[in-house]
Amino acid sequence: MKYVVMIFRNLDRVWTEADQQAVVRLTRLKRELDESGELVSSEGLLPPEEGRIVQVRDGEQVVTDGPFGEAKEQLAGYFLVDAVDDERAQAIASLVSAAVGDRVELRGTLISAGMPDELG
């Protein structure tokens, strides 16, 4: 089953040497998960001010530049993994959490949980 491990970062933190070391640990973990065949993809994300909201209103595309919302904590990156079971997915999430030194969020994906590819 596929799972997403989401990494968050507080926006008002200053980048430190500890953050750089976390990137080194995440890169090592990414390599290990790739070698084990469990890594589907992994990326860090640009900061929210680099993002855009895209939506259609009254049939027209509307694009709004970031940053967005009042939240201080934003999605900073993710690991998409293919784990044999929930226990392994939690173990992988624990490795990511240890690498970044903070909590992460783990969620299964709908299709791999049994949602049909096409409805109807």
The pLDDT value given to residue 14: 83
Query: Please, what sign has the CA dihedral across residues 50, 56, 61, 64?
Result: negative
Q: Is the pLDDT of residue 69 over 70?
A: no
CA distance 94 to 79: 12
Q: Which domains does the chain have, with CATH numbers?
A: 2-108 (3.30.70.1060)
Per-chain mean pLDDT for the chain: 90
Render pLDDT for 28-52 as a digit per residue (tens, 0 to 9): 999 999 999 999 999 999 888 888 8
Give the dihedral sign, CA 65/70/76/82.
negative
117 pLDDT more than 70 = no
List all residues 6 or more positions away from 51 whose beta carbon is below 8 Å from its beta carbon. Answer: 65, 66, 67, 68
